[in-house]
Amino acid sequence: MSKPTIAIHLPDGSVREVPSGTTPLEIANSISPRLAAASVVARLTPLAGGTAGAASGEESAEAAMYAAQDASATRLVDLSTRLVEDTRLELVTEKDPEALKVVRHSAAHVMASAVLELFPETKLGHGPATDSGFFYDFYREKPFTPEDLAEIQERMIEIVERDEKFVHEFEPREKALEEFERDGDFMKTHFVTRFTEPGSAVSFYRNGKFVDFCRGPHVPSTGRVKAFKVLSLAGAYWLGDEKNPQLQRIYGTAFFSQKDLDAHFARLEEAARRDHRVLGKQLDLFSIQDLAGAGLIFWHPRGAMIRKIMEDWMRDECLRRGYQLVYTPHVARVNLWQTSGHEGFYAGNMFTPMELDDAMYRMKPMNCPFHILIYKNSPKSYRDLPARYAELGNVYRYERSGTMHGLLRVRGFTQDDAHIFCMPSQIESEVSACIDFAEAVLKTFGFTEFKVELSTWDPNDRAHYAGSDENWDLAIRSLDNVLKAKGIPYKTIPGEAAFYGPKIDVKLVDVLGRLWQLSTVQFDFNLPARFDLEYVGEDGERHQPVMVHRALFGSVERFFGVLIEHYAGAFPLWLAPVQIGLVPISERHTAYAQKVEAALKDAGFRVETDARNEKMNAKIRDFANQKTPYILVFGDKEAAADAVSVRTRGKGDQGSMPLADFIAKAKSLVESQSTEL
């Protein structure tokens, strides 16, 4: 605390000289009271030795709540923080995504306040913000009931109405520990011991009578937690160890406004309506069978039909784009996995080995080593490159029980996997072709929006990466060039590359705005070296090829899960397992039904006739429940005119039209892979 005045650098480039000890709130007020009211916290970058942008991304969730912040790095602080050095200052308003996290974490304090007021015997764990809200962990012998949760919500409303200030206080660490131990606050004792230094002052926040060990920041007062909801209760063992006491974790969520909160619940409802596990059952697409095991998918006829269309499309596209199709086994000797390195760094993700008479075997978690063996099976020259091997390969990966989720997280799945072996000079054109292919996949299957990330290495951490500097530079430059040349906006993420090479990830955006990681294009400098891959170059010398792994659906299962949710089960005509449902009005029209069915099948359509002795409306309803794109109804009038009465999904009754006209129209929709219907 030296200088009488300090320099505050604002985002517009202006600099203000203010007395040392001025708060961000005072500065906001001096700019405009409206800005002050809109600000949630402030973002500081101290000018002396400041490392802009080095926000605490690497910290564990717990360290991020308790460990003292690096005072030289960019960080968020309370609006009431006294500024004592020259700094860049940005007032963080509701427009900043970080602000919502602060509101949510503050809501966790409000929840803990409410719990202690209602149930004073409760011991506190911790209460971080999450991507969709917040939670707080509590220890209390009696389980909370749904009525308790409702009461907690009510009490939180009161605490928010009280508009208690969040006051930042410090206490000597030893004193704080003594108090926590005395009160039996075993979790707080743990956090203080683990995340603070002996001899330091420990940071607390007080609102009303409630005090919590926390480094902040928070909103200025509880009144700024405007829209929130206590959601649910779950059990969790303290520190994840089942020998420890069981905690009760109460989840909640908070938003800036009631409107945002309502929109959030509407989105959740919509997501639940689209849940692929529910639709998978309702539309009889797939199942997971207890008797067979978790994470293993059974494709029922309707789901299998969609898969066939996806796979046919993918194989045809691969051939059109110069790939060669291969098939490889599901298991291999452990020796292979030792050579590839999987046995070392990936063993935890593999099924345990099985012993046969001659050796130990393992299910394959990846197809790469198999494609490499095909490459290696005969000498290669530069004329053979690029060699592009594609396979819809089944792989098996160990996922912990309890982590499986429908089609999205499974133990056995099919990758649309390809490996491209090429010369360094071919990298750019190969990557470019992969990106075009990925775009074609997304567009064809109805996704118009996607986000691209380029993961590169951290050149300061050289020891962690396989391959030469030259190759890394070349690969990163090529990926960069390709994305730039295509005008694709992307985010570069340094240090996110795998140890074996840089990669491009394509994340699609579904109809609900959710991001899904599916396509990936990855370089590999490691496996070609491990397997001693070679080609004879134009110079007659032996060289090592570069290898690219790429998967576009990613996993066929996962992609299918995303498709189900994206379309809410109403697949476009070209993908629908049953495209046309036929409804003869009475048994009298069975002969005409057979004629229509034959004509449609001849034209290549997937058709189902409902010949049951049921009411017409019941038959129509059943097809509609199956989300059948077209339902054709016919009686005497239609039969006499070689016509059908057409019901289009989402549009209702379209009236009667000649069968031939209907066929022509539907055919053009299928051929163009239209997503209109």
Q: Give contact residues for Zn ion (rule: CB under 5 A).
A: 214, 368, 549
Among the listed residues 494, 500, 432, the one whose alpha carbon sits nearest the alpha carbon of residue 466: 500
C-beta closer to Zn ion: residue 212 or 510: 212
Least distance (Å) between residue 212 CB and Zn ion: 6
**Nearest-angstrom CA–CA distance, 137 and 120:** 15
The number of C-alpha atoms within 13 Å of 202 and in the hemisphere containing its C-beta is 29
- Of the candidates 185, 417, 505, 524, the residue annotated as catalytic is 417
CA Rg, the chain, in Å?
31
C-beta closer to Zn ion: residue 548 or 633: 548
Least distance (Å) between residue 124 CB and Zn ion: 11
Among the listed residues 399, 401, 396, 432, the one whose alpha carbon sits nearest the alpha carbon of residue 414: 396
Least distance (Å) between residue 109 CB and Zn ion: 5
C-beta closer to Zn ion: residue 224 or 549: 549
Least distance (Å) between residue 150 CB and Zn ion: 24
**Nearest-angstrom CA–CA distance, 266 and 140:** 33
Two structure tokens written together for 197: 């230094």
Phi/psi for 72 (5° steps) reads -95, -5
C-beta closer to Zn ion: residue 61 or 356: 61
**C-alpha pair distances (Å), 633 with each of 572, 575, 627, 646:** 20, 22, 16, 7
- Of the candidates 415, 426, 522, 544, the residue annotated as catalytic is 415
SS3 486: coil
**Nearest-angstrom CA–CA distance, 98 and 62:** 17
549 a catalytic residue? yes
Two structure tokens written together for 216: 């902040």
Q: What kind and span of H or E run contains 30?
A: helix 24-31
**Nearest-angstrom CA–CA distance, 37 and 28:** 8
CB 325 within 8 A of CB 315: yes
C-beta closer to Zn ion: residue 56 or 673: 56
CB atoms < 10 A from the CB of 590, how many?
Answer: 12
C-beta closer to Zn ion: residue 368 or 643: 368
C-beta closer to Zn ion: residue 104 or 627: 104
415 a catalytic residue? yes
C-beta closer to Zn ion: residue 104 or 543: 104
566 a catalytic residue? no
Least distance (Å) between residue 418 CB and Zn ion: 8
Exposed e or buried b per residue across 104-134, where buried means at least 16 C-beta atoms within 10 angstroms of its C-beta: bbbbbbbbbbbbbbeeeebbbbbbbbeeebb
CB 428 within 8 A of CB 482: yes
Phi/psi for 655 (5° steps) reads 85, -175
- Of the candidates 126, 168, 397, 558, the residue annotated as catalytic is 397
503 a catalytic residue? yes
- Cβ neighbors of 395 (< 8 A, separation 6 or more) are 363, 364, 365, 366, 367, 412, 413, 414, 415
C-beta closer to Zn ion: residue 219 or 483: 219
Least distance (Å) between residue 307 CB and Zn ion: 21
- Of the candidates 69, 123, 307, 368, the residue annotated as catalytic is 368
436 a catalytic residue? no
Among the listed residues 402, 387, 327, 337, the one whose alpha carbon sits nearest the alpha carbon of residue 364: 337
**Nearest-angstrom CA–CA distance, 659 and 249:** 61
Least distance (Å) between residue 673 CB and Zn ion: 28
**Nearest-angstrom CA–CA distance, 303 and 283:** 9
**Nearest-angstrom CA–CA distance, 573 and 577:** 9
368 a catalytic residue? yes
- Of the candidates 503, 550, 566, 649, the residue annotated as catalytic is 503
Least distance (Å) between residue 215 CB and Zn ion: 7
Least distance (Å) between residue 168 CB and Zn ion: 10
Least distance (Å) between residue 313 CB and Zn ion: 21
- Of the candidates 549, 558, 619, 627, the residue annotated as catalytic is 549
C-beta closer to Zn ion: residue 16 or 321: 321
Active site amino acids = 368, 397, 415, 417, 419, 503, 549
